[in-house]
Amino acid sequence: MKHYAGIDVSLECSSVCVVDADGGIVREDKVLSEPEALVAWFAAFGAPLERIGLEAGPLSQWLHAGMASAGLAVELLETRHVRAAFRTMPVKTDKKDARGIAQLMRLGWFRPVWCKSLAAQEVRAVLTARKLLQGKVHDVEMSLRGILRGFGLKVGATTPRTYAARVQTLAQGHPTLEGIVLALLKAREVMAAELRVFEGRIRALARDDNRTRRLMTTPGVGVVVALTFVAAIDEAERFRSSRMVPAHFGLTPRKYQSGESDYTGRISKIGDASVRTALYEAAHIILTRPIRGSDRRPGGSASPGAPACARPPSPWPASSPSCCTGCCATRPTSLPTRQPARRWPPEPKRRHSAFGRASTISPPQRSPFAGTLERSDRSLECSTTVTALVRSIGRSSTDPIEQRPRADCGQKQVTGDRTKLRRD
């Protein structure tokens, strides 16, 4: 009979559950979260295992590599799918999670997660450490600015080289501030020095990788962006098509369709957030900044020989002061004409039948273009419709009905004459 196992990994001990092909529990136990201990436990079990599943986590890659090298059929499960499968469980424990993972392996209702290679994990670790030091250096600088601002000392605009001298100058004459500034500047200098070491290590990694150097030929893509993308992809052969890569990193829009409802939302943001951040930064640089040695300019691609321009193409002529003189040949020679806005519904017709009677207004006709206006024109359509309705219920200033006196304060009605008022 076939057997399936599920492992709920924890920091110290992992819960293990083995079920048979019918879903019955065969054995449950607590095992140390070590590859050797898990391999020994499954070897002592005696029966061959069809599949072993464990949820993706901080220790999963290490455990997966050790168990796979021992010849066990182990699979990594995506965390979102496991969470969705366990959502209906009223009681959540490690033992129940191991049972659920074992049942998922038995049913085959899971999506395996790619286990990255050791080289990709090392590159990712270096990038993470470099990002951590960069953030801490920035936090120290901002904290110093905030401390000095409380005493009315404003640092102002500085550079990485002039920052320390500026802060020390402001803290002179304040013994307490001088001690704080000195300690934080020492910590900043140490972290900045280690950050420069990581920067050199990252450049060396990029220099030795052909894939990274190929990506860096793209304008706007630097060392960090290229290494982040290469470490996340690891092996391109695991993707059947290049169209699967944006969906893998959460760059494709969400989709909800049920019956007559069909919505397309924002990007899913599923997957590695650092890759999305790196790709966004590269795309932002390409679209907004002129790049040396590239024919592409902000706002679109320029033809060879065209002058570099820091602004996107504009429909206004070269006589406009906001245009640069280098793009005059590509600009139109006249202002773009604007079509007059359509007014709908038309102005209602008024007619008066006799003195003393209410004016009658012909009802507005239905638009022959009803339902065919663009969304941008709907606001104009709504505003004109409301205006027409207000006019249709309004009265003319020469209508005698409008001059009829009302029983307000300061007004008295005179019998026999409806159109004369007497004010006290």
Cα–Cα distance measured from residue 276 to residue 274, given in angstroms and rounded to the nearest whole number: 5
What pLDDT does 46 receive?
84
Question: Where does the pLDDT of residue 206 fall: very low under 50, low under 70, confident under 90, or very high at 90 and above?
Answer: very high
pLDDT average, residue stretch 209-229: 92
Q: Is the pLDDT of residue 186 over 80?
A: yes
State pLDDT tens for residues 277-313.
999 999 998 888 876 666 655 555 454 454 444 444 4
pLDDT of residue 299: 54
Element (H, E) at 63: helix 60-69
pLDDT reported for residue 219: 84
Beta strands across the sheet bearing 51-55: 25-32, 13-20, 3-8, 51-55, 74-77
Count Cβ neighbours within 10 Å for each residue of 185-222 and write b for 16 or more, e otherwise.
Answer: beebeebbeebeebeeebeebbeebeebeebbeebbbb
pLDDT confidence bin for 419, thresholds 50/70/90 = very low
CB distance 137 to 195 below 8 Å: yes
Spatial distance between the Cα atoms of 207 and 230, rounded to a whole number of angstroms: 13
User: Residue 254: phi, psi to the nearest 5?
Assistant: -70, 160
* Cβ atoms within 10 Å of 418's Cβ, excluding its own: 14
> What average pLDDT is seen over the chain?
77
What pLDDT score was predicted for residue 270?
87
| Cβ atoms of residues 27 and 54 within 8 Å | no
Q: Which two tokens stand for residue 215?
A: 């990506």
Phi, psi of 4 (to 5 degrees): -130, 145
Contacts of 337 (CB under 8 A, 6+ apart): none
Return the pLDDT at 405.
Answer: 42
**Rounded-to-integer distance, Cα 116 and Cα 230, Å:** 11
Q: Give the pLDDT confidence score for residue 340 in this predicted structure.
A: 58
Whether 194 shows a pLDDT value over 70: the answer reads yes
Would the pTM count as exceeding 0.75?
no
Bond from prior residue into 58 cis (ω within 30 degrees of 0): no
Per-residue pLDDT, 287: 87
* Residue 329 DSSP symbol: G
